[in-house]
Structure 1
């Protein structure tokens, strides 16, 4: 047994390998969690809705009463867009050749 080795101690390479494996596992878990779908609320405000469907807030405001815009709900004075309604509206906008 080498002079500076103690009984029951592990070589430094095993400790480094264990730390590398732990770091790799943690990185894989963090990557997996970041890719999971986050729970959505049932409604969005006009800024979130505009971003969601790819238009400007001003387009939503100007066309709110038009049949070309997605349906909305009023909660008190606030305008909200149901996610299900936005998804349905987007599906209706598809052009099939």
Structure 2
């Protein structure tokens, strides 16, 4: 699944996107992360949380012990560098 870096994803889409990046994630985990101020940055669209693709990439590359760099993720997902 490819998306422009600034596309806003729903919670379900973000979880699926992270799974596609090799980091399995359930939407419920994203909810838990939000309630404890952890996890990827998100914005609100009304009452609904939304995740920018670029913010998901940034969060993945900052995880301790995570081997993927931003360039490797972009290559794996077939998207142009940001």
TM interval, short-chain normalised:
0.5 to 0.7
Distance in 1 (alpha carbons) for counterparts of 2:46 and 2:35: 17
Mark the runs of 5 or more structure 2 residues left unpaired by the alignment. 19-23, 68-82
Detail structure 1 runs of 4+ shifted over 4 Å in the superposition. Answer: none
In the superposition, the TM-score normalised over structure 1's length comes to 0.53
- Equivalenced residue count is 61
- 3-state SS of the aligned residue for 1:60? helix
Q: Which has the higher contact order (CA 8 A, sep 6+)?
A: 2
In the superposition, the TM-score normalised over structure 2's length comes to 0.61
Mark the runs of 5 or more structure 1 residues left unpaired by the alignment. 1-36
Between structure 1 and structure 2, the one with the greater Rg is: 1
Q: How large is the RMSD of aligned CA atoms in angstroms?
A: 2.5
